[in-house]
A and B are shown apart, each in its own frame.
Chain A
Amino acid sequence: MSLRSPLGKALGKGSAKDGFSHWWAQRVTAIALVPLTLWFVFSVLSLPDHGYSTVRSWLGAGLTPILLLLLVGALSYHSALGVQVVIEDYIHSKPAKVAALLGSSFAHFFVAAACAFALLKVAFA
Chain B
Amino acid sequence: MRQRPLSPHLSIYRFAYTMALSISHRITGIVMAVGLLLLTYWLLALATGPAAYAGAMRLMGSWFVQLLLAGWLLAFVYHLCNGIRHLTFDMGLGMEKAEARRSAIWTVAVTVLIFGLLAFLAFFARSVL
Interface residues of A (CB under 8 A from B): 27, 30-31, 34, 37-38, 41-42, 45-46, 50, 52, 55-56, 59, 72, 75-76, 79, 82-83, 86, 89, 92, 108, 111, 114-115, 117-119, 121-122
Nearest-neighbor residue (CB-CB) of B27 within chain A? A86
B residues less than 8 Å from A82 (CB atoms): 26, 29-30, 33
Interface residues of B in 36-52 (CB under 8 A from A): 36-37, 39-40, 43-44, 46-47, 50
| Cβ of B37 to closest chain A Cβ, rounded Å | 7
A residues less than 8 Å from B53 (CB atoms): 52, 55
A37 touches B80 (CB 8 A): yes
**Interface of chain B, main secondary structure:** helix
Counting CB contacts under 8 A, is B21 at the interface? no
The docked-state distance in angstroms from the alpha carbon of A52 to that of B42 is 11
A34 touches B47 (CB 8 A): no
Supply 23 A–B pairs (Cβ within 8 Å), ascending by A.
A31-B87, A34-B80, A37-B76, A38-B80, A41-B73, A45-B121, A45-B122, A46-B129, A52-B46, A55-B53, A79-B29, A79-B36, A82-B26, A83-B30, A86-B26, A89-B7, A108-B36, A115-B40, A117-B47, A118-B46, A121-B47, A122-B43, A122-B47
The docked-state distance in angstroms from the alpha carbon of A87 to that of B12 is 21
Interface residues of B (CB under 8 A from A): 6-8, 26, 29-30, 32-33, 36-37, 39-40, 43-44, 46-47, 50, 53-54, 57, 73, 76, 80, 83-84, 86-87, 90, 118, 121-122, 126, 129
B126 touches A45 (CB 8 A): yes
A50 touches B57 (CB 8 A): yes
